Amino acid sequence: MTSITPQTHGEHVEEPIEGFWAVIPAGGAGTRLWPLSRQASPKFLHDLTGTGRTLLQATWDRLLPLTEDRVVVVTGEVHADAVRSQLPDVAVGNILAEPTPRDSMPAIGLAAAVIERLDPDAVIGSFAADHVIGQPEDFGAGVREAVTVARTGRIVTIGITPTHPSTAFGYIRQGASLGLAGAPGARAVQEFVEKPDAATAAGYLASGGFWWNAGMFVVRASVLLDTLAGYDHELAAGVRAIAADPSRLGEIWPGLRKIAIDHAVAEPAARDGLMAVVPASFTWDDIGDFASLGELLAQVEGSPGVKVIGEAGQVLTIDATGIVAAGGGRTIALVGLDDVVVVDTPDALLVMSRGRAQDVKAVVERLKAAGRTDLT
C-alpha cells in the first residue's frame, strides 16, 4: 500500500465536486451468481449487462466526473492486479489491497483514514463496485446534495425508492426534513431496519417514508472515523495507525473487527440522531442473483422470453423462456422449458428454475464442504 496521489486527466462533462473523494469497496464473491462469479473472479470484474464495461469499470465511469480522479478502490490482494488492469487510469497508490476480507467497515475506514491524512477536510462517498445505476446525471445530482449535507457534519446515506416490497434489502425510515439550502430532499434518519419479512415490507411501501438501503454513504472522512471511534475505538485507531504507517498493515489488519459499516456506524449513529438520507431519483440494482440480473438484460431478437449473457448466437430456443449465460464455448439448446436459468462455463454448468435463484448460494456451500475450492 502506498500513499494516495490526486490526479487530473482532462475535461469532464460535469464540474467535479471540490474536496470530494469516492471510495469503491470492491469485495465479495457474489455466490448467488455462481458459476459466473467466484472468489477468484467476483461479479464486479465481469460485464454482466452487455455494456462492454465491467461493473467495476461502470462504477469508475460514473464517479469520474464528480471526483476529477479522486477515486480510491479497496480490494483484496488476490484481486488487486485485476483491478489495476481494468482501471489503468487509477494511480497505483489509489488501490488499497486488503490482506484478508474484514467486511465493509475496515475497508471503508482504511480508505477514509488514508484520505484524511492527505486532505483533513475531505468529504468521501462510498459506492460499491458491483451495483448497476441508471440516469448518471440524476446520480450526480444526488451525490452533490449528499455532499452538501455531509459538510454540516452529518453522515449521509442515499436512499433508493422501493419499487416492490423486497425482503432482500434493508430499509431506511426517514424523519423530519433538514431544511438545508442546496439539499431540499434531505431528511433525518429515524432508524435503519434489517431485511423485513414480506408483510412488513408491504407495510413499509403502503405507509411511505421508507427507502431501500443501498449502502451508499457520504461523510467527512474525519467525521466517519471520529464517529466510529465512539462506537469501536480499537477499529478506528487501527485503520488510522495503518494510514500513518502502511508498513504496519500486516500487523494490525488481522486484529481488526470484522463488521459491516451499517452495523458499526449507520445503525448506532441513526439512534444518536447523526444520520441523514437523501432520496435518490435514479434506478438502482445490486444484481443479487440471476433473477434480478434477468430484469436488466435485453430480450434476444427472435426468441421472445429469452435473455442471454454472452454470445446470443450460441443459444437456440424452441418454446422456452428464461436466462442463458453462454460461456462454455458450445451451443446451448432449450426446448419446452419455462423460466429456466442455464449458466454454462468451461468447468461448471448450472441449471435451475428462476424462482430458486436465491438458492445458488447453497451450491457454493456444498462445494466448499466437499473441498472443491477449485470451483468456488
Give residue-wise pLDDT tens across range 128-149: 999 999 999 999 999 999 999 9
Please report, in angstroms and rounded to a whole number, the separation of the first and last CA atoms in the chain.
27
Residue at 355: amino acid letter: G
Per-position pLDDT tens, the chain of length 376: 444 444 443 333 469 999 999 999 999 878 899 999 999 899 999 999 989 999 999 999 999 999 998 999 999 999 999 999 999 999 989 999 999 999 999 999 999 999 999 999 999 999 999 999 999 999 999 999 999 999 999 999 999 999 999 988 999 999 999 999 999 999 999 999 989 999 999 999 999 999 999 999 999 999 999 999 999 999 999 999 999 999 999 999 999 999 999 999 999 999 999 999 999 989 999 898 999 898 888 777 767 789 999 888 899 999 999 999 998 889 999 999 999 999 999 999 999 999 999 899 999 999 999 999 999 9
For residue 177, give the H/E element and its range: strand 171-177
pLDDT, position 227: 98
Cβ count near 149 (within 10 Å): 24
Instruction: Determine phi and psi for 50, rounding to 5 degrees.
Output: 75, 25
pLDDT, position 12: 38
Alpha carbon distances (Å) from 217 to 108, 195, 326: 10, 18, 36
Q: How far apart are CA 26 and CA 45, in angstroms?
A: 9
pLDDT, position 14: 67
Cβ count near 179 (within 10 Å): 9
Q: How far apart are CA 197 and CA 205, in angstroms?
A: 13
CB 293 within 8 A of CB 33: yes
Query: Phi/psi class of residue 160: alpha, beta or left (left: φ > 0; alpha: ψ in -120 to 50)?
Result: beta
For residue 350, give the H/E element and its range: strand 349-353
pLDDT, position 300: 74
pLDDT, position 301: 74
pTM above 0.85, yes or no: yes
Q: How far apart are CA 334 and CA 321, in angstroms?
A: 8
CATH of span 20-285: 3.90.550.10
With residues binned 3-state (H G I as helix, E B as strand, rest as coil), the percentages for the chain, rounded to 5, are 40, 25, 35
Query: Phi/psi class of residue 279: alpha, beta or left (left: φ > 0; alpha: ψ in -120 to 50)?
Result: beta
Query: Phi/psi class of residue 28: alpha, beta or left (left: φ > 0; alpha: ψ in -120 to 50)?
Result: left
What residues contact 40, with CB distance under 8 A and at least 6 apart?
A: 78
Question: Do strands 275-279 and 155-160 pair parallel, antiparallel, or not at all (unpaired)?
Answer: parallel
C-alpha cell at 364: 457454493
Q: How far apart are CA 211 and CA 76, in angstroms?
A: 30
Cβ count near 280 (within 10 Å): 26
pLDDT, position 69: 86
295: exposed, middle or buried (C-beta count within 10 Å: 0-12, 13-18, 19+)? exposed
Task: Measure the CA angle with vertex 32, ends 165 and 299; round to 5°.
Answer: 75
The ranges assigned to domains in the chain are 20-285, 290-369
CB 359 within 8 A of CB 344: no
pLDDT, position 290: 93
Alpha carbon distances (Å) from 303 to 121, 131, 315: 54, 28, 10
Give the residue carrying C-alpha cell 433508493. 160
Residue at 305: amino acid letter: G
